[in-house]
């Protein structure tokens, strides 16, 4: 079943084109990472999917038109933006009461059991919680909703590594199953690389790459080339080359040369799957040079 | 980091097996109004606080001040009762009670204005609009819940606080009279509190309906302005009125604004007696209420149409709003 289907999705802010004819299909049970530099159009795409912004083109989410059916859609869709969107004046217990009051798929007992594993008190106001606790709380609210699509927009920004790991562990172990679909954007790509089932790289409002993680791992290979093999490696037409600690690191795309295989490349140096961030830089070329820092 | 194999446990679920997602239509509205009360304590604290201050002043006056000073606040001592005409007695008796209601009403009006100015602005300023919009609550329901505060909740609070305050004031006055060796009976027999409460109910409804376009305008501006909401809501009207006055030496807009603030009195009450003499508004008899004239007043219906237009514009605008 297709959860998200977009054709020619376009959104412009004045002369700035945020989404430039994006085609997108996300099937049920997938975890899609939407990766790109600042201003690439990730959040605009998510906002369109959530019915938060009008758009041109065709877009259906769970069979609905998000812009015209946002409130009905939100019965089946959950959304976590960065940690600062929970109302700071609200008490934890009030947030639980409110979500239970308005959301037909919210299971309060489940939320309470998630909260019981944390140090969050019901009487605390959101502003009294640390960033990590706010994220824990938001995740507890969302995980207690029996939704079919979860959209995460930089959900762990500003959190330390422990909270980030805990966030994704909870998401996968306590929430995700094959009936749910997750779309996530993040600059902390290394946190999600092993979580994703699908990858979409986006830049300047256009899709640069879309593939499953299996395809990603079989298609792209990164070789830390031994110095004496550099010339031979370059002859195999890598799509990108960079230097690190005095060694040349080359990325190969097996779609460019299908005869390339891991054994052949292993004769040139250490072979492994590139990080999404390194591949992104490779595909963006000079344009994305500055974006690499952001994508890491 | 969890691996992908962890990520997809073998628990295939049929997506069609989700429980039916049904809630009564009014439930989100009810909870959204409660949410507004949680966020804005001043909605009930301010009227209660002014009532408490008034009651304290009234109590101090009744108990501690000398008799001649007390009579200013409580002109219903037995001695004075005996010397006054019936109508004057009534007005003298009613005055502190009318003042109490008016004060609570004015505070509620101010609370309603400042609430409306913040209502659709603060959620954008603190980015919580992204949280609210992630829940299955329509923009219509959200704006309706916010409009309900000045148009329904605050009037109900005014009525409740006024009734309780007036009853306490009367009991207190009776106690003081009895302790001073007098009779409390006149406060039962001569002070028509139930009539006054009916007038308060009528007046509250009248004022809310008359002021509805003001609240809805402020709601609209609070959802539109990026900053300085109060200035955007007020200054354009004043500027246009000033320009009209300077350019054309007329003051249509100024009179219209004045009428929108205070014009309900002429429409909803007959403020002259049968001889054409202005009545004392400290006590308005039920016979002076003119609901028919009020309901047939063009000012009421034009105001309500404008209020509905502002309200719908605020709903539509919220669809497009993002954090500031």
List the domain boundaries for chain B. 27-320
Residue B11 has a pLDDT of: 36
- Which among B2, B126, B133 is the nearest to A169, CB-wise? B2
Find out whether A209 and A200 touch, Cβ atoms under 8 Å.
Answer: yes
Q: Which of A72, A80, A178 sits opposite B12 (nearest CB)?
A: A178
* DSSP secondary structure letters along A80-94: E-SGGGS-TT-BHHH
- The confidence score (pLDDT) of residue A256 equals 81
Instruction: Of A191-195, A286-290, B167-171, B238-242, give the lowest mean pLDDT range.
Output: A286-290
Residues of B with CB below 8 A from A78's CB?
Answer: 134
- In the three-class reduction of DSSP (H, G, I as helix; E, B as strand; rest coil), residue B196 is classed as helix
**pLDDT for residue B65:** 59
Beta-carbon contacts of A108 under 8 Å, excluding residues fewer than 6 positions away, are A96, A100, A144
By Cβ distance, the residue of B8, B11, B137 closest to A102 is B137
Residue of B nearest to A77 (CA): B134
Sketch out chain A's domains with CATH numbers: 2-204 (3.40.50.300), 215-295 (no CATH)
Q: What is residue B226's three-state secondary structure?
A: coil
What is the Cα–Cα distance from B47 to B158, expressed in whole angstroms?
Answer: 7
Q: Can you point out the beta strands (E) in A118-253?
A: 149-153, 181-185, 198-203, 206-212, 220-225, 240-244, 247-253
* Nearest residue in A to B142, CA atom: A71
Contact B35 A98 (CB under 8 A): yes
Spatial strand order in the sheet of A240-244: A240-244, A247-253, A220-225, A269-272
Query: Where would I find the H helices in B126-228?
Result: 129-132, 139-148, 154-179, 185-189, 193-224
Distance of CA B201 to the CA centre of its chain: 12
Residue with tokens 């330390």: A160
Chain B, 113 to 132: residues with Cβ < 8 Å from chain A are 123, 126-128, 130-131
pLDDT of B85 higher than 70: no
Residue B31 has its nearest CB partner, among A28, A76, A98, at A98
What stretches of B65-128 show up as alpha helix (H) in DSSP? 67-73, 78-83, 86-119, 122-125
Output the pLDDT for position B10. Answer: 35
Q: Is B12 on the interface with A (CB under 8 A)?
A: yes
How far apart (Å, rounded) are the C-alpha atoms in residues B37 and B53? 22
Q: Strands A247-253 and A220-225, how do they pair?
A: antiparallel
Give the pLDDT of residue A65: 95
* pLDDT per residue as tens digits for the range B277-300: 888 888 888 888 999 999 999 999
Question: A9 has which bridge partners?
Answer: A22
Min mean pLDDT across A275-284, B43-52, B57-66, B93-102 is at B57-66
Give the minimum alpha-carbon distance from A63 to chain B in angstroms, rounded to a whole number: 13
Residue scoring higher pLDDT (B92 or A48): A48
**Is the Cβ of B135 closer than 8 Å to some Cβ of chain A?**
yes
Question: With bands split at pLDDT 50, 70 and 90, how would you rate the model's confidence at B177?
Answer: confident
Instruction: Specify the pLDDT at position A156.
Output: 85
- Interface subset of B 14-53, CB within 8 angstroms of A: 14-15, 18-23, 27-28, 30-32, 34-35, 38-39
Divide the 296 residues of chain A into consecutive groups of 10 and give the mean pLDDT of each group. 93 90 92 90 91 94 94 92 84 96 93 92 94 89 91 86 86 84 89 90 90 91 89 88 87 84 86 89 62 40
pLDDT of residue A86: 92
Q: Is the pLDDT of residue B78 over 60?
A: no
- Average the pLDDT over B183-203 and give the result: 85
pLDDT at position A94: 97
Q: Is the pLDDT of residue B187 over 80?
A: no
Query: A-chain residues within 8 Å CB-CB of B11?
Result: 177-178
Of the partner residues A103, A172, A178, the one whose CB lies closest to the CB of residue B11: A178
- Tell me the C-alpha distance between A94 and A209, whole Å: 43
Instruction: Give the Cα separation of A146 and A163 in Å (integer).
Output: 23
- Residue B21 has what pLDDT? 55
Rg (CA), chain A: 21
**ipTM of the complex, rounded to two decimals:** 0.86
**Nearest one of B6, B50, B128 to A90, comparing CA atoms:** B128
Q: Measure A191 CA to nearest chain B CA, in Å.
A: 7
- Higher-confidence residue: B52 or A227? B52
A285: left (phi over 0), alpha (psi -120 to 50) or beta: left
């Amino acid at each position: 079943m297709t959860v998200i289907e977009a054709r020619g999705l376009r959104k412009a802010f004045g002369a700035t084109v945020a989404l430039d004819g994006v085609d997108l299909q996300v099937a049920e049970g997938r975890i899609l990472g939407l990766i790109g530099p600042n201003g690439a159009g990730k959040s605009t795409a998510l906002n369109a999917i959530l019915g938060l912004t009008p758009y041109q083109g065709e877009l259906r989410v769970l069979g609905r038109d998000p812009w015209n059916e946002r409130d009905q859609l939100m019965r089946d869709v959950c959304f976590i933006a960065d940690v600062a969107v929970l109302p700071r004046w609200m008490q934890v217990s009030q947030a639980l009461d409110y979500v239970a009051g308005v959301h037909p798929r919210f299971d309060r007992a489940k939320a309470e059991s998630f909260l019981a594993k944390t140090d969050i008190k019901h009487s605390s106001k959101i502003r009294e919680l640390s960033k990590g606790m706010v994220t824990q709380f938001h995740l507890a609210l969302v995980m207690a909703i029996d939704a079919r699509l979860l959209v995460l927009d930089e959900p762990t920004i500003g959190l330390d590594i422990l909270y980030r790991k805990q966030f994704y562990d909870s998401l996968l172990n306590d929430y995700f199953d094959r009936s749910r679909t997750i779309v996530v954007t993040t600059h902390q790509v290394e946190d999600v690389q092993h979580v994703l089932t699908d990858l979409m790289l986006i830049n300047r409002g256009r899709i640069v790459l879309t593939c499953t993680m299996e395809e990603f791992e079989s298609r792209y290979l990164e070789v830390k080339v031994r110095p004496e093999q550099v010339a031979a490696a370059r002859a195999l037409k890598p799509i990108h080359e960079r230097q690190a600690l005095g060694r040349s690191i080359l990325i190969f795309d097996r779609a460019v040369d299908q005869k390339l295989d891991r054994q052949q490349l292993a004769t040139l140096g250490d072979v492994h799957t590139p990080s999404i961030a390194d591949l992104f830089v490779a595909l963006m070329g000079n344009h994305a040079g500055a974006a690499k820092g952001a994508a890491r | 980091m969890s691996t992908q194999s962890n990520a997809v446990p073998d628990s295939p679920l049929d997506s069609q097996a989700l429980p039916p997602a049904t809630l009564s239509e009014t439930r989100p509205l009810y909870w959204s109004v409660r949410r507004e009360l949680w966020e804005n304590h001043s909605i009930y604290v301010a009227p209660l606080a002014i009532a408490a201050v008034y009651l304290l002043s009234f109590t101090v006056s009744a108990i501690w001040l000398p008799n001649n000073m007390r009579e200013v606040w409580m002109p219903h001592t037995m001695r004075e009762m005996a010397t006054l005409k019936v109508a004057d007695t009534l007005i003298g008796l009613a005055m502190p009670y009318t003042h109490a209601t008016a004060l609570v009403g004015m505070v509620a009006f101010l609370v309603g204005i400042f609430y409306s100015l913040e209502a659709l602005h603060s959620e954008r300023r603190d980015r919580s609009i992204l949280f609210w919009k992630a829940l299955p609550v329509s923009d219509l329901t959200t704006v309706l819940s916010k409009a309900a505060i000045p148009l329904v909740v605050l009037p109900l609070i005014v009525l409740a606080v006024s009734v309780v305050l007036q009853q306490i004031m009367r009991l207190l006055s009776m106690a003081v009279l009895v302790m001073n060796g007098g009779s409390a009976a006149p406060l039962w027999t001569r002070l028509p509190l139930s009539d006054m409460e009916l007038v308060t109910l009528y007046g509250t409804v009248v004022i809310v309906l008359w002021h509805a376009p003001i609240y809805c305008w402020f709601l609209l501006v609070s959802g539109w302005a990026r900053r300085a909401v109060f200035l955007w809501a007020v200054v354009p009207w004043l500027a246009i009125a000033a320009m009209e006055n300077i350019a054309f030496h007329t003051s249509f807009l100024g009179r219209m604004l004045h009428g929108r603030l205070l014009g309900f009195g002429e429409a909803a009450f007959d403020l002259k007696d049968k001889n054409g003499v202005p009545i004392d508004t400290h006590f308005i008899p039920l016979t002076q209420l003119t609901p028919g004239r009020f309901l047939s007043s063009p000012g009421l219906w034009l105001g309500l149409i404008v209020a509905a237009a502002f309200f719908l514009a605020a709903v539509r605008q919220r669809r497009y709003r993002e954090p500031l």
